[in-house]
Chains A and B, each alone.
Chain A
Amino acid sequence: MTQSEARRIGLCCENIDKRYGGLYALRRVSLEIAPGECVALAGRNGSGKTTLLRIAAQLVRPSAGKLTFSPAQTEPASATKNTGFVAHATMVYDELTAEENLLLFARLLEIPEPAKRAELLLRDVGLFERRDSLVRTFSRGMRQRVAIARALLHEPAVLLLDEPGTGLDPQGVTWLAETLWRLHGAGSTIVMSLHGESEISALATRGIRLDAGAVVADTRTGASLRSILTFANA
C-alpha cells in the first residue's frame, strides 16, 4: 500500500440535521463520499453548503445524525489532523507575517522541516517575496493565497474548500485548479462549495446540490453534473 493510499479517507453523513434555534441549516442529509472523490457542492446562499463543510471538518457538531469516516478504522481525531479546510474567513493571523503563519501551523501539525515546507508553499502561491510582510497588509486575494497554502501544508487526505476562488485573480485560480488536480491525483478526497462553473469546478467528478438544507440533486454523470455546477446559484 502506497503512502497516499494509506492516507485515503472518505466521509459518510448519516441523516445529519443541524439546527440553529428553530432554524434548520441542514435537514436529514445523508451522503457517502468515497476516498479520493472530488465533489462540488452547489446551491443558493443559505442552502447549507458551509454548514455541511464545517460538520465534515468536525468544527461543528450536528444536532442529529452522525459523521463517520472510511476506512472504518479511521478515528475522528486522525481524520481531523488529515483535513485541510479553506473557509470564508482566511483562518490566518493578520498580526503575523505570511511565513510566520505557515511556520506556526506547520509546527502545530508536526510537519518535518516546517521551514522548508513553508518556503515551498510560499513560492507556490507566489508570495515568497512578501514572506516577511504582515498578512494585514495583504490584499484579499493575497490573503486567500496564504489561507490556501495553510490548508495544504500537510497535503491533507481530505480537503474541504468553501468557495476557494474568492478574491483570486485568474492566475491564482489556474494555480489552485492545478494544485487540486495534483492532490486529487494523489488520492486526496476533495469537497468544495462553488458558485458557478470555473476551472476549479471542472475537477469535480460528482455534483451535489443543496436547497434549504436538504440534498435535492446528486449526480456523477457529465451533463447533469455540468448543469448542477452551471446553475449553482439559480
Chain B
Amino acid sequence: MSLLSNTTVLLGKELRTEFRSRELLTTTVVFILMVVVLFSFTFDPTREESRRFGPGLLWLAFLFAASLMLQPGFLREQTNDTLSALRLSVSDSFAIFLSKLCANALFLLITELLMLPIFAVLYNVPLLGVVPQLALVLFLGSLGLSVTGTTLSAISAQARMRELLLPLLLLPLLTPLLIASTEATAALFAEEPVLRWDWLAFLIAFDIIFLTAVWLFGEYLLEE
C-alpha cells in the first residue's frame, strides 16, 4: 500500500515539475520532429518505401529521443541531493524508481502520439485503421524503453562521463526491443495490417523480465 501511495505522490511531483518547465517534452518533441521531417526531405520515400522503412525510422527516432529524455531523470535528483531526502522518506525505495519509470513512459507516449499524425502525413502511411493495435505496440515498446532507460539513467547518473555512458549502455541493450517493436509496427503498416502476437509476446516478456530485475535489485541502484 505504501509503495502505491509513495509512487502516486512522487509521480505527481514528476508531472508537476515537468509540466511547469516543459523541458523534457519540448526537447524530445522537437528532436523527433526534426528527424522525421529531415528524413522525409532527404529521402522522399514512396508509399511502399515508407511502409518498409518507416517503422525502423520511427523506432530509431523514439530510441534516440528516449536517450535524450531519460538522461536528466536521476541527474535532477543530484542537484540538491534530493535523492537522499527521498530515500529517507519513502517506505520502499522502489517507489522512487517506479514513479520515474511511469513518468518517463508517459512522456514518451505523449511524444509518440504527437508525432504519429505528422509521420502519417509526411510519409503517406494510413494509420487510422490500426490506431488501437498501434497504441498497444507503442505502449509495450515505450514501457520497455523506459524500464531499461530509467535503470541505466540511475546507474549513469553517479558516473563520470555520464552524458556518454547512458546512450552507450542503452543502445546495445535495447537492440532486441527495437527489432521486436519495429517488426510489430511494420506488420501494422503493411497493405493488409496484422497484429503480430509473437513480437508482442516478446515485448511483454522483455518488459516483465527487466521490471522484475529492477524490482529485485533496484535498491542498490539508488545507493551512493
Interface residues of A (CB under 8 A from B): 54, 57, 59-61, 77, 80-81, 83-85, 87-96, 100, 104-105, 107-110, 150
Interface assignment of B25: CB less than 8 Å from any CB of chain A: no
- Picked from B16, B20, B88, the residue with its CB within 8 Å of the CB of A59 is B88
A95→B89 contact, CB < 8 A: no
- Picked from A54, A88, A109, A150, the residue with its CB within 8 Å of the CB of B224 is A54
Q: In terms of DSSP, what is the predominant structure of the interface of chain B?
A: helix
| Between-chain CB contacts (< 8 Å), 10 pairs | A61-B223, A80-B88, A88-B81, A89-B81, A92-B80, A92-B82, A96-B16, A108-B89, A110-B5, A150-B85
A109→B82 contact, CB < 8 A: no
- Picked from B6, B79, B84, the residue with its CB within 8 Å of the CB of A87 is B84
Residue interface bits B180-224, CB-to-A below 8 A is 1, else 0: 000000000000000000000000000000000000000000011
B17→A96 contact, CB < 8 A: yes
Interface assignment of B42: CB less than 8 Å from any CB of chain A: no
Say whether, besides A59-B224, A85-B88, A91 and B13 are in contact (CB < 8 Å): no
A108→B84 contact, CB < 8 A: no
Q: How far does the alpha carbon of A68 sit from the alpha carbon of B224 in the complex, in Å?
A: 19
* Total residue contacts A-B, CB cutoff 8 A: 69
- Picked from A83, A89, A95, A150, the residue with its CB within 8 Å of the CB of B20 is A95
**Chain A residues closer than 8 Å to B21, beta-carbon distance:** 95
Closest 10 CB pairs of A and B: A89-B81, A91-B85, A108-B89, A107-B9, A95-B17, A89-B80, A90-B80, A59-B84, A60-B224, A91-B81
**Chain B residues closer than 8 Å to A93, beta-carbon distance:** 13, 17, 80, 82
Interface residues of B (CB under 8 A from A): 2, 5-6, 9-10, 13, 16-17, 20-21, 79-82, 84-91, 223-224
Say whether, besides A59-B224, A108-B90, A87 and B2 are in contact (CB < 8 Å): no
A85→B80 contact, CB < 8 A: no
Q: How far does the alpha carbon of A107 sit from the alpha carbon of B6 in the complex, in Å?
A: 8
Q: How far does the alpha carbon of A59 sit from the alpha carbon of B13 in the complex, in Å?
A: 22
A94→B79 contact, CB < 8 A: yes
By beta carbon, the residue of chain B nearest A160 is: B88
Q: How far does the alpha carbon of A9 sit from the alpha carbon of B88 in the complex, in Å?
A: 16
**Chain A residues closer than 8 Å to B82, beta-carbon distance:** 91-93
A105→B87 contact, CB < 8 A: no
By beta carbon, the residue of chain A nearest B96 is: A108
Q: How near does chain A come to B16, taking the closest CB pair, in angstroms?
A: 7
**Chain B residues closer than 8 Å to A89, beta-carbon distance:** 79-81
Q: How near does chain A come to B2, taking the closest CB pair, in angstroms?
A: 7
Q: How far does the alpha carbon of A119 sit from the alpha carbon of B3 in the complex, in Å?
A: 26
Q: How far does the alpha carbon of A91 sit from the alpha carbon of B16 in the complex, in Å?
A: 18
A87→B81 contact, CB < 8 A: yes
**Chain A residues closer than 8 Å to B79, beta-carbon distance:** 89, 94
A96→B13 contact, CB < 8 A: yes
B224→A108 contact, CB < 8 A: no
**Chain A residues closer than 8 Å to B84, beta-carbon distance:** 54, 57, 59, 85, 87, 91
| Additional pairs, 4, CB under 8 Å, beyond known A60-B224, A95-B21, A96-B13 | A83-B88, A88-B81, A92-B80, A108-B10
Say whether, besides A89-B81, A95-B21, A57 and B88 are in contact (CB < 8 Å): yes
Q: How near does chain A come to B78, taking the closest CB pair, in angstroms?
A: 9
By beta carbon, the residue of chain B nearest A85 is: B88
Q: How far does the alpha carbon of A93 sit from the alpha carbon of B78 in the complex, in Å?
A: 10
By beta carbon, the residue of chain A nearest B90 is: A108
By beta carbon, the residue of chain B nearest A81 is: B91
Q: How far does the alpha carbon of A81 sit from the alpha carbon of B17 in the complex, in Å?
A: 25
**Chain B residues closer than 8 Å to A90, beta-carbon distance:** 80-81
- Picked from B20, B80, B85, B223, the residue with its CB within 8 Å of the CB of A105 is B85
B9→A104 contact, CB < 8 A: yes
**Chain A residues closer than 8 Å to B2, beta-carbon distance:** 110
